[in-house]
Structure 1
Amino acid sequence: MTTGLIDDRETWDTFVDESASGRLFHKWDFMKITEKHTGFRFLPPYGVFKGNELIAVMPLFQKQLHRVNVLLSPPPPLQSVVPYLGFVMGRRYDTAKQSKKESMLKLVGDDLESEFAALAPPNYLSITQVPGFIDVRRFLREGYQTRLHFTYLIALDPPLDEIWNSFSSNLRTKLRKVEKNGYRLEKSTDISIFYSTVAERFSDPEMSIPMISRAYFEELFRAYPDELGLYYLYDDEGAVTGVQATQEYKAFTLWMGAPKMTAMPGNEFLQWLLLQQAKHAGGYRHMENVGGANNENLNLFKSKFNPSLTLFLEVSQEDFIGRVARWAYSTIASKSPMKRKVLSYIE
């Protein structure tokens, strides 16, 4: 096994397309745009080869501040709006027997550890894998810490009426009521309203994080016009009552939405309309609702759709300096304006 750099965008993207665990977040342009707008350097893209065969790729982002060296995959989600990333195994891994999978993972893990050691030793290293990729035993044996994250999935295989009947009775009543009020869904390329709702959410002093620029979203939507969608829900008077950005790549993903905008259950109806769209489009096994499963305030709302709960795992390692940095972030800087200046990239 050897580790090498991949300098060809087409090779990288084709590998991601063919892998079961590849996500839009892994695509070459997505990561380059993320680098540009978050201040994290996208390291030369690593590939693990067996002979001439590329069997894994590993995207890493680096930042150094005040002598603290941080390696992350992905950059902090509140700055990059990327909830998970991590390494991607090739399609041969996806169909292999378990013994072969474990052998391949061990070899990939060994090569990645060698690459981490060859870099300036990170004070803090964090890798968050995509949902469903749970075999992180190689990292556990090396003393990495593990954090559990959750996401919601709604299976799209059953008939639509079966999916509808699985919703809570309270939700079905609300949806019927809204349906009679003349609401309409429109797909748009105008990010103005979407960005204003995101800006309002992220400018909350309690969050105290760097603002995500409008240019970041504009570049992403230009780069992926077919894979990124933007939907507005209008009431019968033409007022926007719901906003949702989606990723329509392998899974139909509710990526970013707006907080509740009116007294009416517009967000619930918007999600129901998008679920129907994903179902009728075909080719999607699941609709994923990113983020809601990790937020206690959203659990009750999201769970009314009767989704399944799925794990995604974060592994991390830190030295003494990294621990001190994390302590400073959580106890000193997190409740003051210093949070924007001192280690704002460690979550």
Structure 2
Amino acid sequence: MINKNISVKIYSINETNSSKWNNYLKNNDQACLYQLFEWQIINKSYFKHSVYNIVAESNNQIVGVLPLVSIKSKIFGHILCSMPFVNYGSSCANSTEINKKLMEYACELTNKIGAKYLEVRSQKPSVINMKESKNKISLTIKLDDDYEKLWNGFKSKHRTNIRRVYKNGITVKKGGVELLEPFYEILSKSWRDLGTPIYSIRYFKTITDYFKNDYTIFIAYKDDVPVASAFNGYYDDVVEGMWLGLDNQYRQYQPSYVLYWEMIKDACERGYKTYHLGRSSTDSGGESFKKKWNAEKKQLYWQYYLNTIDKIPNLNPSNPKYKLLIKLWRMLPLKATQIIGPLISKNIP
């Protein structure tokens, strides 16, 4: 039975609430990187979005949290989301019943603020029968302190491909904020070629400021030229693959093989147990490539409470509605996408 004394409230952003929130997550094995309070501070201070830090309490102790971000877009309308701009989010709670209370509160909040809909990006199915989309998956590698065990578990063809890319002169450097500019340049090229508006480099700099030692940037080079890049986050014993980009001019060298392997080795050497390779669309090229690393497929659940609309929205590059816009974006000079992109991307969850 659920404790009748449980109350649900909204925490304001301050140092005390941030510490209480993160301490709760630290002691809950269901927590993930994207639920940390720092993301809400960034979403409010950098993007200027309204944020709602939903907390369930019992006897003045936190028993559940749910971060929500309110995005008001002239293009897409008013959306309430957990969590936008990152791989997923959703709630973390001591029980299913507490989780239900948090989700019911979020639905009521959607009505109260007049959002078109609530979108909850979760690793688990809905606990209150919200509508669901199952077009996204996560692929996860179980790590080992001895990375040679992972290497020996790969198919022979896969190991051959990695060796071949090394022979092609691909090397990898890892570091921190000093690698932010080459990371951003490559990611900008990659997103421009996909037709996706990029965030400002200042957004990524803000993330490095808040997460300090809990991230690493990796750059793959071909003859001293940056050709691929990745940004990983760390929480507890988990590595989160957050952003990765490839310069299409160097695609023929397949630098991602060496980049991925160097990141996997690094995670093993640092003692992490799990590596989430980021989310992918089902049956995509990304899914196929990640499976080569013996990554386990896990379903993600995009959950929806529809307030003023009747159908689950399709804010997806595969939507024919955006085909022309994507085509035009791909034609823009890189610098133009870096100037215009941040004005658009902040309103695309």
The verdict on a shared fold, with TM-score over 0.5 as the criterion, is yes
Residue pairs, 1:44-123, within 5 angstroms: 45-65=53-73, 68-75=77-84, 80=85, 82-89=86-93, 93=94, 101-117=95-111, 119-123=112-116
Corresponding residue number in structure 2 for 1:98: none
Corresponding residue number in structure 2 for 1:97: none
Corresponding residue number in structure 1 for 2:335: none
Q: Does 1:225 pair with 2:233? A: no
Instruction: Say if 1:39 and 1:63, in contact at 8 Å, map to a contact too.
Output: no
Using the alignment, how far apart are the partners of 1:212 and 1:343 within structure 2?
Answer: 6
TM-score by length of 2: 0.78
Corresponding residue number in structure 2 for 1:136: 126
Instruction: Say if 2:228 and 2:255, in contact at 8 Å, map to a contact too.
Output: yes
Decide whether aligned partners of structure 1 residues 312 and 332 sit closer, same or farther in structure 2, where only a CA change above 3 A counts.
closer
Using the alignment, how far apart are the partners of 1:65 and 1:249 within structure 2?
Answer: 31
From 120, 140, 147, the equivalent of 1:160 is 147
Corresponding residue number in structure 1 for 2:278: 290
Decide whether aligned partners of structure 1 residues 326 and 273 sit closer, same or farther in structure 2, where only a CA change above 3 A counts.
closer
Decide whether aligned partners of structure 1 residues 103 and 42 sit closer, same or farther in structure 2, where only a CA change above 3 A counts.
closer
Letter in 2 for 1:127: V
Decide whether aligned partners of structure 1 residues 301 and 114 sit closer, same or farther in structure 2, where only a CA change above 3 A counts.
closer
Decide whether aligned partners of structure 1 residues 62 and 334 sit closer, same or farther in structure 2, where only a CA change above 3 A counts.
farther
Decide whether aligned partners of structure 1 residues 126 and 305 sit closer, same or farther in structure 2, where only a CA change above 3 A counts.
same
Decide whether aligned partners of structure 1 residues 317 and 57 sit closer, same or farther in structure 2, where only a CA change above 3 A counts.
same
Deviations 1:249-272 (A, max 9, x none): 221122211225343232111211
Corresponding residue number in structure 1 for 2:40: 31
SS at match of 2:133: strand
Letter in 1 for 2:266: Q
| Aligned-residue offset at 1:238 | 2.4
- For this pair of structures, how many residues does the alignment match? 318
Corresponding residue number in structure 2 for 1:96: none
Decide whether aligned partners of structure 1 residues 227 and 196 sit closer, same or farther in structure 2, where only a CA change above 3 A counts.
same
Residue pairs, 1:182-221, within 5 angstroms: 183-188=170-175, 189-204=178-193, 207=195, 209-221=196-208
Instruction: Say if 1:65 and 1:343, in contact at 8 Å, map to a contact too.
Output: no
Corresponding residue number in structure 2 for 1:247: 233
From 1, 4, 25, the equivalent of 2:9 is 4
| Aligned-residue offset at 1:9 | 1.6
**What 5-or-longer segments of structure 1 have no aligned partner?**
94-100
Using the alignment, how far apart are the partners of 2:214 and 2:172 within structure 1?
Answer: 18
Instruction: Say if 2:220 and 2:226, in contact at 8 Å, map to a contact too.
Output: yes
Using the alignment, how far apart are the partners of 2:60 and 2:286 within structure 1?
Answer: 47
Using the alignment, how far apart are the partners of 1:200 and 1:85 within structure 2?
Answer: 27
Decide whether aligned partners of structure 1 residues 334 and 37 sit closer, same or farther in structure 2, where only a CA change above 3 A counts.
farther
| Aligned-residue offset at 1:222 | 1.9
| Aligned-residue offset at 1:280 | 1.5
| Aligned-residue offset at 1:128 | 0.7
Instruction: Say if 2:191 and 2:245, in contact at 8 Å, map to a contact too.
Output: no
Residue pairs, 1:164-175, within 5 angstroms: 164-175=151-162
Using the alignment, how far apart are the partners of 1:38 and 1:200 within structure 2?
Answer: 22
Instruction: Say if 1:293 and 1:309, in contact at 8 Å, map to a contact too.
Output: no
Q: Does 1:303 pair with 2:307? A: no
SS at match of 2:198: coil
SS at match of 1:59: strand
Deviations 1:152-180 (A, max 9, x none): 11111485333112222211012223445
Decide whether aligned partners of structure 1 residues 244 and 52 sit closer, same or farther in structure 2, where only a CA change above 3 A counts.
same
Instruction: Say if 2:51 and 2:70, in contact at 8 Å, map to a contact too.
Output: yes
Using the alignment, how far apart are the partners of 1:255 and 1:346 within structure 2?
Answer: 17
TM-score by length of 1: 0.79
SS at match of 1:164: helix
Using the alignment, how far apart are the partners of 2:113 and 2:158 within structure 1?
Answer: 52
